[in-house]
């Protein structure tokens, strides 16, 4: 119930893979878990009941978008984000730092914060660590994220270092603001710090040490899945998790490909989020145990069976692959919804399987078996997806 203190307990470890439990003001969540992205207080095209039915425990919303529209004060007056969007489970909110930074020439970064013009109406705004913390306290999610400075992939070490040091200062400001607010720490709301440092080992070390010295409720690995190759993403994830407190949850931001969930858990990650499962679903790209397939291909035109006969989602239990293909070819909105339900259920079921494997001390075998049978999207396609994600994170 609201007011419950945030708590995290590990149930078992298998190598570096972990299974645990988060207690939040709006209920418990078993880790590892994946958060569907409800940027505008909705997972695109789906009702809260459908998201819950797919197996979601926690969803993620974005404080930048809700600050601009309908406004955090409006959400607060309407009873907070949970009541506003009709979701009674835990919610995590992103601070909006990435979206403000993504405004390109429409924003200016200083030690005080980020000044930017709204992508909606051009109005001028100034995000500071204190305001970002207040916004999230007003929205009243169970987990709030520190305001950080994101940096583009390929930036120089000097640029990454400068952004990292600014992120560290802002982390302390966010923590201090959260501690003194009656609607922040005292309400049971958790605050997570974010480790930055780009693809520079020494900076990642420094950032992990500095951020973990602040007693946040949990810690996130930021600045990955933004253009670097998978090997680097996995390597820096491992580096950071080895340095973070063992008794706090670890969150790998913006990651949601099936293979990345398995590899992330193998490196000690407890929490994930990404819009990828639903975004690619709306383009007709659906997950199967062997990898992604394009449902619009002719080979599905007369397939009477469901796309994935091993899947227990609403879509696969009720509709044929041929019907799904027809919906996409006819540009019917139902196709986008059914595909989104399937992809969400696929990744959430995968997370359930991962947790069971950890609890039964067989995660290593599960890891090997999954990676031997699942074919990831090719690297060129992945880079296109990253570019699309970076272009569209503000809209």
Catalytic residues: 94, 273
Q: 124-131: long-range contacts (C-beta < 8 A, 24 or more apart)?
A: 125/67, 125/68, 125/100, 127/64, 127/96, 127/97, 127/100, 128/173, 129/170, 129/171, 129/173, 129/174, 129/177, 130/173, 130/174, 130/177
CA dihedral (315, 317, 321, 326) positive or negative:
negative
Angle between helices 258-266 and 363-373 (to 10 degrees): 150
For tokens 């990651």, what's the residue? 255
Report residue 68 as tokens: 């601009």
Q: How far apart are CA 52 and CA 56, in angstroms?
A: 5
Which of 138, 163, 3 shows the shortest CA–CA distance to 61?
A: 138
Place of tokens 């709006």: 26
Q: Are strands 33-36 and 271-274 parallel, antiparallel or unpaired?
A: parallel
Q: Is 142:189 a contact under the CB 8 Å cutoff?
A: yes
377 conformational bin, left if phi > 0, alpha if psi -120 to 50, beta if neither: beta
In the chain, the largest separation of any two C-alpha atoms, in whole Å, equals 62
Cβ-Cβ contacts under 8 Å for 94 (sequence gap 6 or more): 60, 61, 62, 63, 64, 145, 253
Distances (CA, A) of 249 to 245, 272, 277, 280: 8, 11, 23, 28
């Amino acid at each position: 119930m609201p007011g419950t203190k945030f708590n995290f307990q590990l149930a078992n470890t298998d190598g570096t893979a972990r299974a645990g439990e988060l207690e939040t003001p709006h209920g418990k969540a078993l880790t590892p878990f994946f958060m569907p992205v409800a940027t505008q207080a909705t997972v695109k095209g789906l009702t809260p009941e459908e998201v819950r039915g797919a197996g979601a425990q926690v969803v993620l919303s974005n404080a930048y978008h809700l600050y601009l529209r309908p406004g955090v004060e409006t959400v607060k007056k309407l009873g907070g984000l949970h009541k506003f969007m009709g979701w009674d489970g835990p919610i995590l909110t992103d601070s909006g730092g990435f979206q403000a930074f993504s405004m390109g020439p429409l924003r200016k970064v200083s030690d005080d914060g980020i000044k930017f013009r709204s992508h909606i109406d051009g109005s001028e705004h100034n995000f500071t660590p204190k305001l970002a913390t207040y916004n999230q306290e007003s929205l009243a999610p169970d987990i709030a994220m520190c305001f950080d400075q994101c940096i583009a992939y390929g930036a120089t070490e000097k640029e990454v270092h400068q952004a990292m040091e600014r992120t560290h200062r802002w982390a302390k400001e966010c923590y201090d603001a959260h501690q003194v607010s009656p609607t922040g720490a005292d309400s049971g709301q958790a605050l997570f710090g974010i480790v930055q440092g780009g693809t520079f080992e020494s900076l990642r070390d420094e950032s992990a040490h500095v951020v973990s010295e602040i007693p946040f409720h949990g810690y996130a690995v930021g600045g990955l899945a933004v253009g670097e190759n998978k090997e680097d993403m996995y390597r820096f994830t491992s580096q950071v998790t080895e340095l973070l407190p063992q008794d706090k949850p670890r969150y790998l931001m913006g990651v949601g490909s099936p293979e990345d969930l398995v590899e992330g858990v193998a490196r000690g990650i407890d929490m994930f989020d990404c819009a990828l499962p639903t975004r690619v679903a709306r383009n007709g790209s659906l997950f199967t145990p062997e990898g992604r397939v394009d449902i619009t291909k002719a080979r599905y035109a007369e397939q009477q069976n469901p796309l994935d006969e091993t899947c227990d989602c609403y879509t696969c239990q009720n509709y044929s692959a041929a019907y799904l293909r027809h919906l996409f070819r006819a540009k019917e909105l139902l196709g986008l919804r059914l595909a989104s339900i399937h992809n969400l259920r696929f990744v959430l079921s995968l997370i359930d399987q991962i947790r069971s494997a950890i609890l039964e001390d067989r995660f290593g075998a599960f890891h090997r078996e999954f990676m031997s049978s699942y074919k990831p999207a090719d690297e060129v396609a992945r880079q296109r997806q990253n570019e699309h994600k970076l272009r569209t994170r503000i809209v």
